[in-house]
Structure 1
Amino acid sequence: MEVDCIPFSKTGYFSQLIVDYLDQKDHLKPFYNSFPELASFGPQLEQKSESFTPEQRDVLVKALRQQYEGIKISPATARHITMLESSNTFTVVTGHQLNLFTGPLYFLYKIISVINLCNELKNTYPERNFVPVYWMATEDHDFDEINYFNFKGKKIQWNKEASGAVGRLDNQGLEAVFNTFKQELGAGENADRLKELFDKAYLGHPDLTSATRYLVNEIFGDEGLVILDGDDVMLKKQFVPYIKKDLEQQLGFNAVSETIRGLEEFPERYGIQVNPREVNYFYLKDGLRERLDQQDQQFFVVDTGITFTAEALWKELEEHPERFSPNVITRPLYQEVVLPNLCYIGGGGELAYWLELKSFFEQMEVPFPILQLRNSVLLVSEKQAGKADRLNVRLPDLFLKQSSLINKKIREISNIDIDFGPQKEHLVKQFAGLYELAEKTDKTFLGAVKAQEVKQLKGLEKLEKRLLKAQKRKLSDHVSRLTGLQNELFPNQSLQERQMNFSELYLELGPGLIAELKEKLQPIPGEFLILRY
């Protein structure tokens, strides 16, 4: 694979908040501890060493071994789980929903980012051990977000009535999905491997959690990836004191609300990713995950008849911690309580809400992890690269909005000058003389001069647009081929990694796909990668 790159800020697909974070703007530094650089991990290691106890390690390892019971795991993963017993072992984590057949392509990039960073940290701090962890979002309840994946422009969807935590859903109905997918895949060695993966994962396991664990273990097990399910009673018992403290003092609501007010003071007017609630937990049972709320001294589960006094809620929390599910505000805290974690790797949206949480972590006396943006990649086939060469278009230009791309290219290839900039500049100079004349004779004439200037400038702009439109018609074949290429690489005018499923690439590249990506992706990405294969 040949590598090219483009700054994240130039892609047009990342928020100003993330661009400023990557640029390490001073005004954002109060919202995180350390920027993701290898030297930053030294202090982070010491901080986490002091806060994560041997008892927490024991619980973590017991929970992991129980979750992996009956599963054939790689020697590398087994070794990593054993390493977690040791006080000199730490984790790097990414989390993701249980999207059907991994969902969008960036799922691979997130996990490879974690694996590569662990390897780089081992080179930098050889006396320590680093374990890559994928946190399965088994407690999410938005089924419509995870029940499909895209394959060659078609939506492969699992139609099912669903409620409650998605990880607990049974896999009924996935045989029909498999049959549809098989027909789309066709024949061939790589197609057969994809069929086998889907079959064994989803038809060979009873629920979505176990299916996802199997699938991800098959893809990344040899890299030593450890897969963790937070829907675990042993792990949640450790989180009970934090839940109780938060509910009693509404720390999450108060701290995050204050942080949001701080972010809103900046002239950049960053969009706020998530807003906290007074109660940031769900009540969880089979088929049920509904928001917990409070009115006066009474707690209740929204849209149900379930209510608790404060005393009854504390009793429920102690006896059934597995029934309390953190929301987007408190899940990161839960993760950092139960793991010896140094760094969270996520997408732009994820980092945006993590940047709201530092004050909350401080009040809970839990170390705030380093936040790293995951790798982002545009994969371009040899055929597509050839099209770009024949169209004489640079691959980074394809990140432009389609109308801007077309206009830019038409101006480049047109045999006439469509830029009326010089004419506009000449017109402005002419009117400057008229303004001077009006100042010396009749100042009331200034308004008329201004109106005439605006009218003539608009006339030039209109003529420029008409000429550009005419050239587009004349060069329609070039425009059609250019937009066709961009639509291939940016499906639905979105990043490829947010639309395409890994199976399309696996059909072409086979088992070597993961190794190729692992080799080309950087442990700490500085730019958006363009890979030609």
Structure 2
Amino acid sequence: MPSDCITYQGSGYFTPLITDYLNQKDTLKPLYHRFPTLENFKLQLEEKQQNYPAQSRTILADALDQQYKSLEPYIITQQNIGLLRQPNTFTITTGHQLNLFTGPLYFLYKIVSVINLTKELKAAYPDQNFVPIYWMATEDHDFEEINYFNFKDKKIKWNRESGGPVGRFATKGLEAVLGVFAKELGMGNNAKWLTSLFESTYLKHDNLADATRFLANKLFGKQGLMIIDGDDANLKRLFIPHIKEELLNQTSHQKVAEATELLKDYNIQVNPREINLFYIEDNLRERIIFEDDVFKVNNTPISYSKSEILSLLEAHPERFSPNVIMRPLYQEVILPNLCYIGGGGELAYWLELKQLFNSAKVTFPILLLRNSVLLATQKQAEKLDKLQLSWADAFTKQQTLLNRKIHEFSEFRLDFTEQKEFLTQQFDTLEAMATKTDASFTGAVKAQRIKQLKGLENLEKKLLRAEKRSHETQLQRIALLQNEMFPHQSLQERRANFSEFYLDYDGKIVEELFKQLKPLQQEFNVIVL
């Protein structure tokens, strides 16, 4: 069985920004606080302990008590809420959209990364407590991003109109989705368990936030995962000073612009608006804009004077929703958090925010790239061996891999480099002679050089195609195997749903994740089931 290690940097699936961050490139160091090493967590917790008020702990724990009233919490859940009231307790957080039935596989990887890191930190710092947090993105409005999941390459979709924060969406209509899903699952105990889980999650809860909390708790509650909904009036009250600063001074726009200047050599993940807040009600989530000395709710007739909007903020902070720029600050204000674990895209926008945090006098968290995983079957690993492929080969872009294998299979060199070099030397000699005659001869030599080299390149391509035909069966097997593990030549974790693997391996998939994922190691895990 292949056993080579794949680093994130060597996988070929991460952007230059994330690769440079993982390599701790000097030019990026002003954009983060501390790199994720076990030793750095000691400094991080000492700083956060000084900057996180005791009153915030009480409000946070009370809010979680209230949010868990609709569930039957595990004993460890109740213990963790109690621990959050104590000054030596800290959180490790990940966030995710309310994807239908968890969405893609990396939902699991994020949460396992968080839970495993809390265990590692507890072993290293036994006098402190560490609680894993899943932040539900209940205030998002991008319904089209979350209203489906893929099962064995079939799209299981929830068709309904979007509007307002997704966490408040009623679950009406999901019984039809269950009917489609159940038919795809077929028979067997694992199929029955998945059907029952979907039913308990979506048909027995009134809104998407409650349903997602139930689902995440069912999958990970026994491991101590705490699930938090930021769409909460009492939690928003802690954020009032920062909302006021944003309304009156638009500080985030200025501070993020300073960071994006340092990121000009990369693709900018998000661009700030002048006011990075939304106004929300049950069926409404629209930007707040400031025009003609009036605060307006975009695409509505709603408007407020300065004094009116500040009064509204004091009375109803729950009507103000941070966007992607302000949401991380909100999270770090209400949580005693040390580290945010996210995907490459998330870390990219977090790297724009340090100056904003400094301005707000809020400790910037350690940023940790979540674990990535390729799940493979024993049969696939055996096929890889027979085809004399490594895991690194499997991660290689398909055309590059196939071309390389053609060269390996061939009995002779398919590379005409030597011939091209020889031809180039001959034409260099001819050009030297031509300079001693007239300009027309020099031009003829140059034209012939281009023609002859082009002819060699064409012969090289024809020979490659001929060799490809002679090894077509072997190459098809390689492509087929790679397509199984990288659907649509993309990462499996971005497309497949956990149910596909649970159907064949039941709880083993989660057990293996907990055993093998080590969050502080920059390694792309390959798990053979």
Q: Do Structure 1 and Structure 2 share a fold, with TM-score over 0.5?
A: yes
Match of 2:134 in 1: 134
Equivalences for residues 185-196 of structure 1 within 5 A = 185-196=185-196
* Partner Cα separation in structure 2 for residue 507 and residue 4 of structure 1: 28
Query: Displacement, 1:438?
Result: 4.0
Cα distance change, pair 131–54 in 1 and its aligned pair in 2 (3 A): same
Paired residue for 2:294, among 294, 298, 302? Answer: 298
Asked whether the 8 Å contact 2:2–2:381 carries over to 1, the reply is no
* Partner Cα separation in structure 1 for residue 251 and residue 451 of structure 2: 58
Cα distance change, pair 3–55 in 1 and its aligned pair in 2 (3 A): farther
Asked whether the 8 Å contact 1:373–1:525 carries over to 2, the reply is no
* Partner Cα separation in structure 2 for residue 330 and residue 452 of structure 1: 63
Paired residue for 1:395, among 377, 391, 397? Answer: 391
Match of 2:72 in 1: 72
Matched, 1:453 2:444: no
Which amino acid is 2:353 matched to? L
Match of 2:352 in 1: 356
Match of 1:101 in 2: 101
TM-superposition CA deviations, 1:387-434 (whole Å, max 9, x none): 222222222112222211211111111234212222222222323323
Asked whether the 8 Å contact 2:354–2:364 carries over to 1, the reply is yes
Matched, 1:287 2:272: no
Seq. identity, %: 56
Asked whether the 8 Å contact 1:4–1:530 carries over to 2, the reply is no
* Partner Cα separation in structure 1 for residue 444 and residue 254 of structure 2: 56
Count of residue pairs brought into register by the alignment: 529
* Partner Cα separation in structure 1 for residue 444 and residue 23 of structure 2: 47
Cα distance change, pair 130–476 in 1 and its aligned pair in 2 (3 A): same
TM-superposition CA deviations, 1:180-229 (whole Å, max 9, x none): 11111112222221111111001111111111000100100111000000
Which amino acid is 2:256 matched to? V
Give the 3-state SS of the residue equivalent to 2:393 in structure 1: helix
* Partner Cα separation in structure 1 for residue 329 and residue 428 of structure 2: 62
Match of 1:496 in 2: 492
Asked whether the 8 Å contact 2:281–2:319 carries over to 1, the reply is yes
Cα distance change, pair 23–405 in 1 and its aligned pair in 2 (3 A): same
Equivalences for residues 308-327 of structure 1 within 5 A = 308-327=304-323
Equivalences for residues 81-480 of structure 1 within 5 A = 81-264=81-264, 269-439=265-435, 448-480=444-476
TM-superposition CA deviations, 1:19-65 (whole Å, max 9, x none): 00000011110000110000111111111011101100000000000
Which amino acid is 2:255 matched to? A
* Partner Cα separation in structure 1 for residue 442 and residue 80 of structure 2: 78
Query: Displacement, 1:507?
Result: 1.3
* Partner Cα separation in structure 2 for residue 390 and residue 6 of structure 1: 20
Which amino acid is 2:251 matched to? L
Query: Displacement, 1:384?
Result: 1.1
Cα distance change, pair 459–174 in 1 and its aligned pair in 2 (3 A): same
* Partner Cα separation in structure 1 for residue 495 and residue 453 of structure 2: 42
Give the 3-state SS of the residue equivalent to 1:219 in structure 2: helix
Which amino acid is 2:26 matched to? D
Query: Displacement, 1:473?
Result: 2.3
Query: Displacement, 1:447?
Result: 5.1
Gaps spanning 5+ residues in structure 1: where?
Answer: none
Equivalences for residues 504-519 of structure 1 within 5 A = 504-519=500-515
* TM-score, normalised relative to structure 2: 0.97
Query: Displacement, 1:441?
Result: 5.3
* Partner Cα separation in structure 2 for residue 229 and residue 444 of structure 1: 78
Query: Displacement, 1:442?
Result: 5.5
Q: Which 10-residue stretch deviates more, 156-165 or 385-394?
A: 385-394
Query: Displacement, 1:127?
Result: 0.6
Match of 1:19 in 2: 19
Asked whether the 8 Å contact 1:251–1:360 carries over to 2, the reply is yes
* Partner Cα separation in structure 2 for residue 205 and residue 31 of structure 1: 41
Gaps spanning 5+ residues in structure 2: where?
Answer: none
Asked whether the 8 Å contact 2:103–2:146 carries over to 1, the reply is yes
* Partner Cα separation in structure 2 for residue 404 and residue 5 of structure 1: 20
Which amino acid is 1:82 matched to? G
TM-superposition CA deviations, 1:464-514 (whole Å, max 9, x none): 112212222232222222111111111111100000000111112212321
Give the 3-state SS of the residue equivalent to 1:68 in structure 2: helix
Asked whether the 8 Å contact 2:151–2:496 carries over to 1, the reply is yes
Which amino acid is 2:153 matched to? G
Which amino acid is 1:273 matched to? Q
TM-superposition CA deviations, 1:230-260 (whole Å, max 9, x none): 0000000010110111221111000101211
Give the 3-state SS of the residue equivalent to 1:528 in structure 2: strand
Cα distance change, pair 133–4 in 1 and its aligned pair in 2 (3 A): farther
Cα distance change, pair 465–192 in 1 and its aligned pair in 2 (3 A): same
Asked whether the 8 Å contact 2:2–2:391 carries over to 1, the reply is no
